[in-house]
Amino acid sequence: MMIDWEKIDTVLLDMDGTLLDLNFDNHFWNEFVPQKYAEQHCMSVENAKIHLIPQFKSIEGKLEWYCLDYWSEALNLNISELKAEISGLIVVLPHVTDFLEKLQQSSRKVILVTNAHRDSLDLKMEKTCLQSFFDGIICSHDFGFPKESQQFWHHFLQHRYFNKENTLLVDDSVAVLNSARVFGIKHLISVSKPDSQQPMRTILNYPAIEDFRELMVGL
């Protein structure tokens, strides 16, 4: 078994790339936003990408990277409306619902912990109807720090206590897992295939699942 479930009383789950297919977000930022930006500025999509990619990279991992309000202002585009335009690409990854149903049948607390902006979170919950599986939903924007930051975890713990020794975090971001490990969360799992349209990733330093069937053993 990858996890000794007898030792787990709280499960923290990331959203994008963990429960939901990261293809939506990757397509949105890598293709759809450059397309709309190019149309607005009468330039080619290739030139739009050349202009936008350094902007994206410069704040990757910061709270602004996840903030739709920030990007709407910076790019003069209504990012929330654009996300809604291609919301048909929002899908749940394989076997996630089965895993959540098994968790729901147990006595464990299940909390969604996401860096997603509230507008994006609301859109994705509306499309997937997963919210009923969670005992709580934590959005890093409510605390003012992303999950990559130690301040986020301190605020989270003050807001909703959990025992670090008995907590499992599943997240596709190695940077987030690193931050959680420094904070003291004991059980950490990564995701090797967050985007259904991309090859499986090799994850170093953390056990990784391709899909949630691997975590259902013993649950």
Per DSSP, the three-state class of 50 is helix
Q: Which two tokens mark 148?
A: 């990559």
- The confidence score (pLDDT) of residue 119 equals 92
Mean per-residue pLDDT over the chain, rounded: 95
The mean pLDDT of 116-128, rounded to a whole number, is 95
Report how far residue 56's alpha carbon sits from residue 59's, in angstroms, rounded to the nearest whole number: 6
- pLDDT tens, 43-78? 999 999 999 999 888 888 788 889 899 999 999 999
Whether 195 shows a pLDDT value over 90: the answer reads yes
Of the chain, the percentage scoring pLDDT greater than 70 comes to: 100
Arithmetic mean of pLDDT, 105-128: 95
Give yes or no for residue 87 having a pLDDT over 80: yes
Between CA 175 and CA 173 the distance in angstroms is 5
CB 57 within 8 A of CB 19: no
Structural domain boundaries of the chain? 5-22+90-215, 24-88
pLDDT at position 1 is 67
Which whole number is the average pLDDT over 193-198?
96
| Record: fold of 5-22+90-215 | Rossmann fold (3.40.50)
Mean pLDDT along residues 88-97: 97
Q: Which residues of 114-127 are buried (b: 16+ CB within 10 A; e: fewer)?
A: bbbbbbbbebbbeb
Please compute the mean of the pLDDT values over residues 141-160 and round it to a whole number: 95
Rounded Cα–Cα distance for residues 62 and 43 (Å):
28
- Amino acid identity at 183: F
For residue 64, what are the CA distances in angstroms to 116, 144, 163? 10, 10, 29
pLDDT over 80 (residue 141): yes
